[in-house]
Amino acid sequence: MESLLNWGIEVVLWFQKFSPTLDLPFRILTSLGDKEFFLLLMPLVYWCINRRAGARLFILLLFSACLNEVTKLLADQPRPFNYDPRVIKMVHEDSGGFPSGHTQSAVVVWGYLACRFKKKALWLLAGFLILVIPLSRIYLGVHFPTDLMGGYAIGALLLLLFLRLDSPIESWFSKKGIFYQLGGSVGMPVLLILFIPPGNDDMLTAVGALMGAATGLVLERRWVGFCSDGPWWKRFMRYFVGVVVLVGVWLGLRTAFYQLAPADLYRVIRYALVGLWGGLGAPWLFVKLKLAEKGTK
């Protein structure tokens, strides 16, 4: 392992020879794998493009994030800047390095969207982002090449399993009663919380959002049943209104919960409410405002 890490350091240092010339482009590219970006992307797909694809993307990404954090805890691998002082740390990271979460997320999100919509332009975009987002993590000094390989392997395996199993699992789950569905939506994240050491903000964020979004998706089908189709201006207004409220909830709860204890519990509650708004609250409001019709799409 030491020889692999030493080789990885040489790769990182070679990339960083181009600093500061390429700092800005790679910072922009890495932001496309940050949770703030996905906080805006997932509602766009769910509210405005295709409800079913968006709902599945919610679950796939959030489950992938939880799995990534659990794997990081088990692997307990250093970051390049922890391993060698010559490496410049260009963005903040404080968790383990293996596997790369940005790489894994790029594979599952852009791979799923390309497979789901089957558009040539989307395939090209997906291929580009799946390549350059991981490379940005090497350049910025926060991942070894082996971290990227782990992210690619886990992301690809998870994506293949999801594409193969999501339809039969969804069909089986939809036939269960509401209490069974809600139990699964809340129970699985609660079980994951048992494996989280105190202060692991990334894991708590993913688990809270998964709990809220899954619960919201179940209740949305029961109580709302909105359709993501409609004229462009209604889709635009849905996204604008929904994101304004989403960001308001996200920032407002951060202020309201600031310095409240236990901090871990309030982080889970905060992101659960953000996920619940995305999955249920926003669709309900869109129907009430006549920005969306009821339907199955």
Task: Please give the average per-residue pLDDT across 260-274, as a whole number.
Answer: 93
Say what the pLDDT of residue 4 is.
92
- Who contacts 165 (Cβ-Cβ below 8 Å, separation ≥6)? none
Q: Alpha-carbon distance 16 to 263, whole Å? A: 37
The helix/strand/coil state of 110 is helix
Q: Alpha-carbon distance 221 to 223, whole Å? A: 6
Q: Alpha-carbon distance 252 to 120, whole Å? A: 40
Instruction: Specify the DSSP class assigned to residue 89.
Output: -
Residue 296, pLDDT > 70, answer no
Residue 174, pLDDT > 90, answer no
The helix/strand/coil state of 177 is coil
Task: Please give the average per-residue pLDDT across 175-203, as a whole number.
Answer: 82
For residues 232-251, one letter each, b for 16 or more C-beta atoms within 10 angstroms of the residue's C-beta and e for the rest, the string is eebbebbbebbbebbeebbe
Residue 187, pLDDT > 90, answer no
Confidence of residue 209 (pLDDT cuts 50, 70, 90): very high
88-140 confidence digits (pLDDT tens)? 999 998 888 999 999 999 999 999 999 999 999 999 999 999 999 999 999 99
- Give the DSSP letter string of 133-152: HHHHHHHTTS--HHHHHHHH
Say what the pLDDT of residue 286 is.
97
Task: Please give the average per-residue pLDDT across 234-260, as a whole number.
Answer: 95
Percent of the chain with pLDDT over 90: 76
Confidence of residue 228 (pLDDT cuts 50, 70, 90): very high
Confidence of residue 297 (pLDDT cuts 50, 70, 90): low
Q: Please confirm whether the linkage preceding 189 is cis (ω < 30° from 0).
A: no
Say what the pLDDT of residue 201 is.
86
Segments making up each domain of the chain, as ranges: 1-173, 176-297
125: burial class by Cβ within 10 Å (0-12, 13-18, 19+)?
A: middle
Q: Alpha-carbon distance 185 to 168, whole Å? A: 17
Say what the pLDDT of residue 172 is.
83
Instruction: State CA 165 to chain mean position distance.
Output: 20
Residue 193, pLDDT > 80, answer no
Q: Alpha-carbon distance 278 to 282, whole Å? A: 6
Q: Please confirm whether the linkage preceding 80 is cis (ω < 30° from 0).
A: no
More confident residue, 264 or 283: 283
Confidence of residue 241 (pLDDT cuts 50, 70, 90): very high
Residue 199, pLDDT > 90, answer no
Say what the pLDDT of residue 175 is.
82
Task: Please give the average per-residue pLDDT across 179-187, as a whole number.
Answer: 86
Say what the pLDDT of residue 259 is.
87
Q: Single out the residue of 265, 279, 276, 256 nearest to residue 204, CA to CA.
A: 265
Say what the pLDDT of residue 284 is.
97
- Give the DSSP letter string of 8-39: HHHHHHHHGGGTTTTHHHHHHHHHTTSHHHHH
Q: Alpha-carbon distance 258 to 251, whole Å? A: 11
Say what the pLDDT of residue 129 is.
97
Residue 194, pLDDT > 90, answer no
Q: Alpha-carbon distance 264 to 196, whole Å? A: 10
Q: Alpha-carbon distance 134 to 26, whole Å? A: 10
Task: Please give the average per-residue pLDDT across 6-30, as a whole number.
Answer: 96
Say what the pLDDT of residue 73 is.
87
For tokens 């990271």, name the residue.
Answer: 93
Mean of per-residue pLDDT scores for the chain: 93
Task: Please give the average per-residue pLDDT across 7-18, as a whole number.
Answer: 96
